[in-house]
Amino acid sequence: MTTHTRTGAGGTLGLALDGIVLGCDYNPEQWDPTVWQEDVALMREAGVRLVAINIFGWSHVNPADGRWDFAALDQVMDLLHAHGIRVNLGTGTASTPAWLTRQHPEILPVAADGTTRYPGGRQAWCPSSPILRDRALDLVARVAERYGDHPALALWHVSNELGCHNAHCYCDASADAFRGWLRERYGTVDALNAAWGTAFWSQRYGAFDEILPPRLTLSSRNPGQMLDFHRFSSDALLDHYRAEAEVIRARSDAPVTTNFMVTAHIRNLDYWTWASDMDVVANDHYLDHRLADPVTEMAFAADLTRGLAGGAPWMLMETAVGAVNWQPLNRARAAGELRRHALTHVARGADSVCFFQWRASAQGAEKFHSALLPHAGTDSRAWRESVELGRELGVLAEVAGTRVEAHVAILFDWISWWTLDGEGNPSTHVRYLEQVHHAYRALRAAGVTVDVVPAGAALDGYRLVVVPALHAVQDAAADTLDAYVRDGGSALVTFASGIVDHDDRVRLGGYPGAFRDMLGIRVDEMCPVAPDEELALDDGSRASLWSERVELRGAEAVASFASGPALGHPAVTRHRRGDGLAWYAATALAADAYAALVARAADDAGVSRDPHAGPHVELVRRTGHGRTYVFAINNSDRPVPLDVRGTDLLTGEVLRAATTLDAGEARIVREETR
């Protein structure tokens, strides 16, 4: 996976800016123009260099059918330019104006139960609506025509968080588009019947015209149809992105992107298929306090975003200074967290840190969302911490362009997410992302930095590859992993992996079908357990959620079930395969046991682990320009040892001996020697 920077673009991220870029969303339309002067002056004070505007601009620049008014946007573009602030220009198509949906209610999205979703919120449009597409591209053409050469322009921002709310539409236009997509994919209806297994429940189709999107049914729906609807929906929005990007590229040389949502709560788009269309990969990330460990999820999301960027630096396009407004309980960031969390993204490859948003709204659904400039104004902690962050990011300029060093990879796959979390699986308590996070947390606890890569990616550079719950896998991807192991690599596969193919068809002959030979095991029955049922292993460790009747077929047992339905069967196995090693965990190990297993697999594979890194301490290296930068971030409430030599970029202090990193502190050290 590679990202391409457009010809002629230079500087950080191809944006013709240098250093680590501080930016934000700016919604001047919510304010009287008299406020704008103060805004730009304060942006300068905070070190803001890139602002996203016109994201929700449609009804402002196009207030009625056929009426266009760019006066305010012209003024804002020029004002920002006059103050040396670059623009991340929204195409403005994220939310339709009321006149348009009144004129064409068929644009509105329809939910699986057939009910319409009305305007009054945002993103109330069907991704497959030809009318919407037409009107949106007209808007994009006008915006690109007008500002394509504007000196303030640094980046194009297509729509906004495509698929955040409208990823799955079940209307008649979507049904038509779905059928077209299926025709393209399968050619014949027989091929579709075979792929979906429609021999079941008399679901056989005689013609493509009989097929509907998976609207709500009385019973479980067809899993093949559900999977293809996920794929289709992701492709429909990618097609929308491509259409907007094409219109822009015909009129402007500035790079084009859109903001991904690599987070814990959105799984609608298969970003592996999107990434190469982005001139720079950009992600929106908000801490999710509904999770048990939001900080680890943040680190994972940053690593996955870097994976989507093919290892290249990427943009944090949105994050919050403090609280968001859309969780049940919207927690403020504790003192110091803003800085540590922003630096965590930079540590993991972000060359920009942008916030939603500049000035906290006084009205609207997001009026209690934090901002760089809060309701209280500049006499506030948020403002002071933001200004200080801007200063520190300025000091880190030399880090821009460097790449994160990792010798361990984790495979991540949207198809597995969609299938494992689908209907009719052995346990609704086994959720794909939780299993991935579980593995990631174990790696983090073991002091290992990881790359996140797609199934089927080349693995030669890695010493250890972790494969959590890779439920759906194609032969080619399984073969790549096996060849990597036989060539001397190490893999750790966990339960629920290798079970189905990319049609969601079970691989027969015993689980884990695709990985049976590589792992040297065979499973004849899955035995999930209740979420509160603890499983004991004979080495004293604990586990939960899952067990299975593993038979050894060449592997050795590392630990076995000492309780539960698979009593006596191996729970953790190890198989020498060619020149490499293939480990298997047939259960959800408790965190300590998981971390110990990962540490053992990493040590066996010769992965260097940092003894001082851990669940609450980030230690990540970025290298490039002949230098290495160590990001050490202590999220814990006690000092931790830090054994790094070099110059702390933030303080200028030279570290000549091992030292400590205070509670809540961060150091970014340019290493002298390694």
Residue 53 C-beta: closest distance to ligand GLA, Å:
12
User: Would you say 240 or 574 has its CB closer to ligand GLA?
Assistant: 240
Per-residue binding string, ligand GLA, 398-437, x by CB under 6 A, is ----------------------------------------
Determine if 462 is a binding residue for ligand GLA (CB under 6 A). no
Residue 58 C-beta: closest distance to ligand GLA, Å:
14
User: Would you say 89 or 324 has its CB closer to ligand GLA?
Assistant: 324
Joined tokens for residue 649? 């970029």
3-state SS class at 326:
coil
Smallest Cα–Cα separation from 206: which of 190, 194, 195, 184?
Answer: 190
3-state SS class at 664:
coil
Determine if 286 is a binding residue for ligand GLA (CB under 6 A). yes
Q: Looking at 160, 234, 263, 573, which residue binds ligand GLA (CB under 6 A)?
A: 160
Task: Return all residues near 497 (Cβ < 8 A) that are at least 6 apart.
Answer: 467, 468, 469, 470, 471, 473, 512, 514, 515
User: Would you say 55 or 666 has its CB closer to ligand GLA?
Assistant: 55
Residue 158 C-beta: closest distance to ligand GLA, Å:
12
Joined tokens for residue 599? 């540490």
Smallest Cα–Cα separation from 356: which of 21, 94, 55, 24?
Answer: 24
161 is catalytic: yes
User: Would you say 324 or 350 has its CB closer to ligand GLA?
Assistant: 324
Joined tokens for residue 333? 């960031």
Which of 244, 318, 392, 618 is labelled catalytic? 318
Q: CA triplet 596, 348, 601: central angle to 5 degrees?
A: 20
Residue 356 C-beta: closest distance to ligand GLA, Å:
4
Which of 161, 297, 618, 665 is labelled catalytic? 161
Place of tokens 């305007």: 119
Task: Return all residues near 197 (Cβ < 8 A) that are at least 6 apart.
Answer: 222, 223, 224, 503, 505
Query: Measured between alpha carbons, how far is residue 322 from residues 257, 282, 325, 331, 339 in Å?
Result: 26, 20, 10, 7, 11
User: Would you say 294 or 488 has its CB closer to ligand GLA?
Assistant: 294
User: Would you say 123 or 560 has its CB closer to ligand GLA?
Assistant: 123
Site size toward ligand GLA (CB under 6 A) is 9
Determine if 345 is a binding residue for ligand GLA (CB under 6 A). no
Residue 568 C-beta: closest distance to ligand GLA, Å:
50
Give me the numbers of helices (H) and strands (E) for the chain, helices first please. Answer: 16, 29
318 is catalytic: yes
Show the DSSP H helices in 487-567 as ranges. Answer: 516-519
Q: Looking at 62, 124, 161, 240, which residue binds ligand GLA (CB under 6 A)?
A: 161
Q: For 90, how many CA atoms within 13 A lie in the half-sphere containing its CB?
A: 26
Distance CA 358, CA 523 (A): 55
Residue 49 C-beta: closest distance to ligand GLA, Å:
20
Q: Residue 493 CA to chain centroid, in angstroms?
A: 22
Instruction: Please provide the DSSP assignment of 33-96 as one string.
Output: HHHHHHHHHHHHHHT--EEEE-TT-HHHH--BTTB---HHHHHHHHHHHHTT-EEEEE-S-SS-
Residue 524 C-beta: closest distance to ligand GLA, Å:
46
User: Would you say 30 or 647 has its CB closer to ligand GLA?
Assistant: 30
Backbone angles phi, psi at 66, to 5 degrees: 80, -5
Considering only residues 83 through 112, tell me which ones interact with ligand GLA, judged by CB under 6 A: none
The amino acid present at 189, given as its one-letter code, is: V
Distance CA 606, CA 164 (A): 41
User: Would you say 18 or 366 has its CB closer to ligand GLA?
Assistant: 366
Residue 161 C-beta: closest distance to ligand GLA, Å:
4
Per-residue binding string, ligand GLA, 347-386, x by CB under 6 A, is ---------x---------x--x-----------------
Residue 166 C-beta: closest distance to ligand GLA, Å:
13
Determine if 318 is a binding residue for ligand GLA (CB under 6 A). yes
**Residue number of the CB atom closest to ligand GLA:** 284
Determine if 333 is a binding residue for ligand GLA (CB under 6 A). no
Determine if 270 is a binding residue for ligand GLA (CB under 6 A). no
Q: Looking at 39, 284, 482, 665, which residue binds ligand GLA (CB under 6 A)?
A: 284
Q: Looking at 324, 393, 519, 617, which residue binds ligand GLA (CB under 6 A)?
A: 324
Distance CA 614, CA 599 (A): 12
Q: Which residues bind ligand GLA (CB under 6 A)?
A: 160-161, 284, 286, 318, 324, 356, 366, 369
Q: Which residues are catalytic?
A: 161, 318
